[in-house]
């Protein structure tokens, strides 16, 4: 039986005649933390939207925990936590009211809601802002609220799109520490173009360029025996 929790099988997405991604295939096994790299416009966000079921592929298959996200999206979504870049939050709500709202929307009963909110508040260190309006919070705390929300239903798989974008160095440090802790129990695909993120949280790299898979392997293989991740990034994107 396959241990794959995230599967992209010949994924292709066309917008008219333009192929945003073309024949992309990779998988992420249970317990892996994988960095999904590529330059801006490479197709990372499109791939993640296909994997999460937000978009339907033109060809190919996306699976989460064995569930086809085109034909059985609800079953796959129950196993999935998705944090998009600049994910939507309700600025007039507090973290408490937002988490209670989404717990109710996901069908958690009162004891489950109480226990899960307490747990994600602890994981994401939200105690000091729990009763403050989200619109008054720093970007770093808003990102933590978004992360708490995607962890609320105890998903086995996390897909995150640029989780540290726009944060200051202290906030980035906090989010990376959180990701390392979460990665001890979850399967994570982390989209980023920040190379320091790769070594900080991931053990493997999947690299996409111009909509096609350019590399899939360990961080050591990605380095290719060298020490400059920037140089490898430039090489894979055709820049010397």
- Using 50, 70 and 90 to split pLDDT, how confident is the model at 225? low
Residue 228 pLDDT: 73
Mean pLDDT of the 157-165 span: 88
Task: Kindly state the tokens that stand for 176.
Answer: 């990376």
pLDDT of residue 214 exceeding 70: yes
For every residue of the chain, DSSP letters joined together read: ---EEEEEEEEEEEETTEEEEEEEEEEEETT-EEEEE--TTSSHHHHHHHHTTSS--SEEEEEETTEETTT-HHHHHHTEEEE-TT----TTS-HHHHHHHHHHHTT--HHHHHHHHHHHHHHTT-GGGTTS-GGGS-HHHHHHHHHHHHHTT--SEEEEESTTTT--HHHHHHHHHHHHHHTTTSEEEEE-S-HHHHHHH-SEEEEEETTEEEEEEEHHHHHTTSS-HHHHHHHHTT--
pLDDT of residue 1 exceeding 50: no
Alpha carbons 62 and 98: distance in angstroms, whole number: 30
Mean pLDDT of the 196-219 span: 90
Question: What are the tens digits of pLDDT across the range 61-116?
Answer: 999 999 999 999 999 999 999 998 777 789 999 999 999 999 999 899 999 999 99
Task: Kindly state the tokens that stand for 183.
Answer: 């990665």
Residue 201 pLDDT: 87
Residues whose CB falls within 8 Å of the CB of residue 40, separated by 6 or more in sequence, listed in order: 193
- 153 with 116: CB under 8 angstroms? yes
β-pairing, 204-209 vs 212-218, is antiparallel
Percent over 90 (pLDDT), the chain: 62
Question: What are the tens digits of pLDDT across the range 106-158?
Answer: 899 999 999 999 999 998 889 999 999 999 999 889 988 998 999 999 999 99
Question: What are the tens digits of pLDDT across the range 23-63?
Answer: 999 999 998 999 999 988 899 999 999 999 999 999 999 99
Residue 199 pLDDT: 83
Residue with tokens 């992360």: 147
Minimum mean pLDDT range among 4-8, 224-228, 231-235: 224-228
Residue 183 pLDDT: 83
Q: Report the Cα 146 to chain-centroid distance in Å.
A: 12
Residue 172 pLDDT: 83
């Amino acid at each position: 039986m396959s241990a794959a929790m995230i599967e992209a099988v010949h994924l292709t997405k066309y917008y008219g005649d333009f192929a945003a991604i073309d024949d992309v295939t990779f998988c992420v096994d249970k317990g892996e933390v994988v960095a999904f790299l590529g330059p801006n416009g490479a197709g990372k966000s499109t791939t993640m939207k296909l994997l999460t079921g937000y978009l339907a592929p033109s060809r190919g298959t996306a699976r989460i925990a064995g569930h086809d996200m085109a034909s059985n999206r609800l079953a796959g979504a129950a196993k999935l936590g998705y944090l998009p870049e600049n994910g939507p939050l309700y600025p007039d709500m507090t973290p408490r009211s937002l988490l209670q709202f989404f717990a109710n929307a996901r069908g958690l009963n009162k004891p489950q809601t109480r226990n899960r909110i307490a747990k994600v508040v602890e994981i994401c260190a939200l105690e000091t802002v729990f009763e403050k309006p989200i619109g008054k919070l720093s970007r770093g705390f808003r990102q933590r609220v978004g992360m708490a929300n995607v962890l609320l239903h105890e998903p086995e798989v996390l897909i995150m799109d640029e989780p540290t974008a726009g944060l200051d160095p202290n906030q980035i440090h906090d989010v990376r520490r959180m990701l390392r802790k979460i990665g001890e129990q979850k399967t994570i695909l982390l989209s980023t173009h920040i190379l320091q993120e790769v070594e900080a949280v991931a053990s493997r790299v999947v690299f996409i360029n111009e909509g096609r898979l350019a590399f899939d392997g360990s961080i050591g293989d990605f380095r290719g025996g060298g020490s400059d991740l920037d140089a490898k990034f430039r090489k894979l994107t055709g820049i010397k």
